[in-house]
Amino acid sequence: MSHAPTPRTAEVRRRTNETDVEVRLALDGTGQRQIATGLPFLDHMLANLALHAGFDLTLRANGDLEVDDHHTVEDTALALGEAFDRALGERRGIARFGAAHVPLDEALTRAVVDLSGRPFAAVALAFGRERLGTCATENLSHFFRSFATAARLTLHLRVLEGENDHHKAESAFKAIAVALRAAVCRTSSAGPGVAIPSSKGVL
């Protein structure tokens, strides 16, 4: 008798003196999203991530934007990464690895992920501008590093080609989305008897 797979969902609230972030995440979704961070460009990027990963994402962030965007971007990434980690559970019966090359017009980004349980991020986005909308481009790069840390995954993300910084950023978010979609794919039911995809027996 077969059983339906356990839903891979999580809810996280991260509150500090600088930000208040709430995340609801379903890995096995259809790309539905409701996102409000106070940073329209970041909202746009997160919407692309959810859509192309096939995740259902509800995310609300209130941060000290009167200071700048750093705390909001960082804590949004940390809360989303924690939700991703929780939703994966023991990481049984998953593909574990994912890779993608995603173009947006003249821009091309490569993303490679390993849901290894070991946080690491090598990020090279080659931005030329200081800001995109109200987001500092350095904080967009920091977003991916913070997400990888909280999600406990290895990430290699590099813009290979591009002139337009909006295109570079969007292709990067889409590339990690497609790579994550492949990595979280179930290879079998993720029940307790299913092997964890590691010679160590743990991720």
Q: What is the pLDDT of residues 93-135, one digit of tens each?
A: 999 999 999 999 999 999 999 999 999 999 999 999 999 999 9
93 contacts 187 by C-beta, under 8 angstroms = yes
The encoded tokens of residue 40 equal 């329209």
From CA 153, how far away is CA 87, in angstroms rounded?
13
Which pLDDT belongs to residue 108? 98
Task: Number of helices (H) and strands (E) in the chain: give both, helices first.
Answer: 4, 10
Q: For the chain, how far is it from start to end, CA to CA, in angstroms? A: 29
Residue 49, pLDDT > 50, answer yes
Q: Which CATH superfamily is domain 9-183 in?
A: Imidazole glycerol phosphate dehydratase; domain 1 (3.30.230.40)
The encoded tokens of residue 72 equal 């909001």
Which pLDDT belongs to residue 1? 43
Residue 194, pLDDT > 90, answer no
Residue 192, pLDDT > 70, answer no
Strand ranges for 2-106 from DSSP E:
9-15, 19-26, 33-36, 56-63, 97-104
Among 135, 195, 198, residue whose Cα is nearest residue 168: 135
Q: What is the pLDDT of residues 56-74, one digit of tens each?
A: 999 999 999 999 999 999 9
Which pLDDT belongs to residue 5? 77
From CA 80, how far away is CA 14, in angstroms rounded?
10
Q: Return the domain boundaries, the chain.
A: 9-183
25 contacts 9 by C-beta, under 8 angstroms = yes
Which pLDDT belongs to residue 165? 98
Q: Confidence class of residue 52 from pLDDT cuts 50, 70 and 90? A: very high
Q: Which amino acid is at 157?
A: L
Please tell me what DSSP assigns to residue 22: E
Q: Which amino acid is at 122?
A: A
Beta bridge partners of 15: 20
Q: What percent of the chain has pLDDT over 70?
A: 91
Residue 191, pLDDT > 60, answer no
From CA 156, how far away is CA 99, in angstroms rounded?
9
Segment 19-40 mean pLDDT: 98
Residue 187, pLDDT > 60, answer yes
